[in-house]
Amino acid sequence: MDRFRVIATPRGDHKGPEAVLVDGSKVAFSYQKCLDAPTHRQRVPAAMRTEIQPQVNTYYESRKASHTLVSDESGHPLSPADVHVSYFRGPRFHDIAMEFVQATGGLDAVDLTAETARGLALFTDRTLAERWHAHHQEHAVLGLLSAKESLRRPRV
């Protein structure tokens, strides 16, 4: 390893460390993961979120392009820095993901890649990934909330 540097994290507006190797390659680094590495059962839902992130981004971009960045809960205008795409109107992400996983043989049946340079794993089986994308597209009911509204939502 050559050095560490601080970068924007793959998700959200946070910063985190990245290791820069002697050959110039870069690897996302997490002290927390070093101390308490996530289990496969924890990594699968995280990979599922990573897999459908383009769908979520497309939803946000379509709302932005149509000038409808308003809270679907309060109706208040939202600034791009204060928008959370939420599942508050329909089934929770967790429920959509677990329904899919159970239909494919459970969490242990989902093989994941090693974490990418951005620190996120993906499905190794790209056909299964496409089935997950379609399942999510069919069942997700997305909406926009402010950061405060999103934080006030009950976590079950």
Q: Are 56 and 142 in contact (CB under 8 A)?
A: yes
In order along the chain (156 residues), what is the average pLDDT of each group of 10 residues?
78 71 76 74 92 94 95 94 91 96 94 74 94 97 93 75
Angle, alpha carbons 40-42-47 (nearest 5°): 85
Q: Quick one: tokens of 154?
A: 């009950």
Q: Tell how many helices (H) and how many strands (E) occur in the chain.
A: 5, 5
pLDDT for position 81: 87
- Residue 27: strand, helix, or coil: strand
Give the pLDDT confidence of 135-152 residue by residue, as tens digits.
999 999 999 999 899 888
